[in-house]
Amino acid sequence: MEITTERVSIPLAEGGTMGGYLARPKSAGPHPGVLVYMEIFGVNPHIREVTERVAREGYLALAPDYFHRTGPGVEYGYDDDGFAGGMKLLGALRADEMIADAKAAIGWLRARKDVRGDRIGAMGFCIGGHMTYLTACETDVRAAASFYGGGIAAPAGPGGAASTLGRTGKIRGKIVCLFGGKDAFIPQSQVEAIRSALTKHAVRHEIVVYPDADHGFFCDQRGSYQKAAADAAWKRVKQLFHDELG
């Protein structure tokens, strides 16, 4: 499918704007919308490529820059300097601000004539996977795909807020959580805690652990890339969005 891309600015309730990268089919639509949440490395070439890949499946895809308060527009590589810079910005995140950014992005999508406002989904990686879970809890997205979302099962949410896992009962759509069995950042005890919470609250969900995959397995620009797991995960995400967003 032919697509077009552009940089956009999303108005915020608090004032100011949040940058974003938009990829959409060239056909008029309206199309379902999908938020694509970045890792700690910003809306970098990998995230832009994923956003474009989603658009080629027939969705209007938006990658919001939720580092806009402390590092607007940053793009890091996957080296030590990039990791250090990203971790510094990660530490400045606050759950209430992340939720506000999610709601602003969804509102911006719904205001567009080429978006089906009743068919919005989200996906993301690492802290973006956490952001995906948080968005599923605090908004009405119909489908969510969380890739190796770190800190979801931590005692407190970003910035010391209420636990993200403790919000699970508010999820209304379907969520798929994808993890690597060799991911030292997210021990299997946390994966099981997520599974337990989703089951307890009767949330429609899938928990998938790829035994030989590590953190970052979906990104072909990282040393931890694992093609078999990435391909299988992408197939699941496409099925999720097809089933839930149409």
Among all residues, which ones are annotated catalytic? 126, 183, 215
> Torsion over CA of 161, 188, 185 and 38, rounded to 10 degrees?
-70
Report which DSSP code applies to 159.
G
Burial class (CB in 10 A: 0-12, 13-18, 19+), 4: exposed
Owner of token pair 């989603």: 54
The token duo for 119 is: 């068919």
Q: Which residue has the tokens 């770190």?
A: 150
Distance CA 76, CA 87 (A): 11
> How far is Cα 218 from Cα 180, in angstroms, rounded to an integer?
10
Which residues, in sequence order, are CB contacts of 5 under 8 Å at separation 6+? 21, 22, 23, 24, 48, 51, 52, 55
